[in-house]
A and B are shown apart, each in its own frame.
Chain A
């Protein structure tokens, strides 16, 4: 048992290290994933003066931009990558090797969370340096950890996108889903100023719950309890993994070659 666990950890470490090398050696990918949320924060959080529409403490844009980073990393960095590797046969080669296949997904999810952590750290650092954000160090750490971990449900959504369509179209499907998720989730436009008919839709979106989870860390007066957000995000994750496995099984029965 101990030997099995050690072997699992050794493979997980090696896989994660390979994922890390792949990411840092693909500057275009890394810079796009890193750059977009940082630019959003600088532009929306620091350059634009929103007047009284959004709180002056700058907390909204710090959390929103970090969350955009988590969503993008999960959906593109995990989901689209898995879809590509599946389409090109790399996943097949892993499956026929004795590598525990869960390690493959764990390592990718781990890298997505690490990237998300890096994005959040950079955004918080810019926030601290540029404006006097009214957050304690503990709050900052808690927020960074919570937002980074919120990458996981988006990895699962990306996984579903990657398996419900052909590998080549996964990127397009994620793109189609990505922007509406951001808009409806109250992340680009704050929930309170979303049109009334959009708010009920926003409430059922995973983005709403992952960002509210973060906001709840600094404002306990918010309406919904933390446990609800955690349950919704867990439900999304489980449902996506289940559906992805169903689509994958169907594909195996259909694939010819």
Chain B
């Protein structure tokens, strides 16, 4: 076992009756790493988080957190979790919720600091029920930070946040985690994944189909996207080895390449009258969709790159 591993999973399997939620899962999350879990609904993301938190037990395989079995009191003291829940009592105020949660810990963060970190100062005397969706999520975040955790587990933290609030939350998570704490975050938001994660795990049908940095993931479909409205024959590019992926619909072509210059030149040669030519870095979204597409046979496992 890696001494530096906060979470250590080996050959884990979890099923609900006949439905397989996770299978053949083996991975380690090192201290100080920021691990983001992506995947479609039902891919096993929340199940994985619940296994780490000890509220679910695996059918087989092993999982340990801080060297102990999940759910152990010593782990719960060092872990903060922000889950997708709707049942926070609505009649208690922000301050009352924080004061209550602080009593659970022997050395909690000061209330003022929590209010500031989650940007709840000014609304601390308002009842939970009177808060907007984003503000409620911020309280949920503050509750996760109460015990000054070494391991922060966030399940879709920016859900129902507006753009400004989302960016602010990312900054807060970034500042809090720093370099010493460990982050495990499940999300559908690829921008969030790229912003907060140094390691991205893509879950699909209960398996990890990719485990790498965002940069490495993008390289699977080429590092650059060339798009244009053109009448050029797409087949001309089929045999070009450096083109990783071609999409063509209604005269709009998208080429994912590692070296864009020669491809752009070729495109212009084939159709000098093309329009809307754009060259930009390939997005994580493109890589994500490529990996999840039924045609894809790619799997990327290079977490230590």
Contact = CB atoms under 8 A, between A and B. Distances in A.
Contacts of B147: 97-98
Contacts of A14: 99-100, 103
Main secondary structure, interface of A, reads helix
Interface of B: 16-17, 19, 21, 42, 46-47, 50, 53-57, 73, 76-77, 79, 81, 83-89, 91-92, 96, 99-101, 103-106, 127, 143, 147
A88 B86 contact: yes
A218 interface: no
A93 B83 contact: yes
A139 interface: no
Interface string A92-111: 11011111000000000000
Task: Return the 10 tightest CB-CB contacts between A and B, nearest first.
Answer: A88-B87, A89-B85, A90-B87, A25-B91, A14-B103, A99-B104, A98-B76, A96-B53, A256-B16, A98-B77
Interface of A: 7, 10-11, 14-15, 18, 21-22, 25-26, 84-85, 87-93, 95-99, 252-257
Contacts of B42: 256
A247 to B, nearest CB: 16
Given A256-B21, A256-B47, A10 B86 contact: no
Given A22-B89, A90-B89, A256-B47, A96 B96 contact: no
Contacts of A254: 16-17
Contacts of B84: 89
A91 B83 CA distance: 11
Contacts of A98: 73, 76-77, 104-105, 147
Contact of B76 (A10, A18, A88, A97): A97
Contacts of B105: 98
A35 to B, nearest CB: 19
A6 B83 CA distance: 29
A90 B88 contact: yes
Nearest to B85: A89
Given A89-B87, A254-B16, 19 more contacts: A10-B103, A11-B104, A14-B100, A15-B100, A18-B89, A22-B92, A26-B91, A88-B85, A89-B84, A91-B87, A92-B83, A92-B85, A93-B83, A96-B54, A96-B55, A97-B81, A97-B104, A98-B147, A257-B50
Contacts of A99: 104
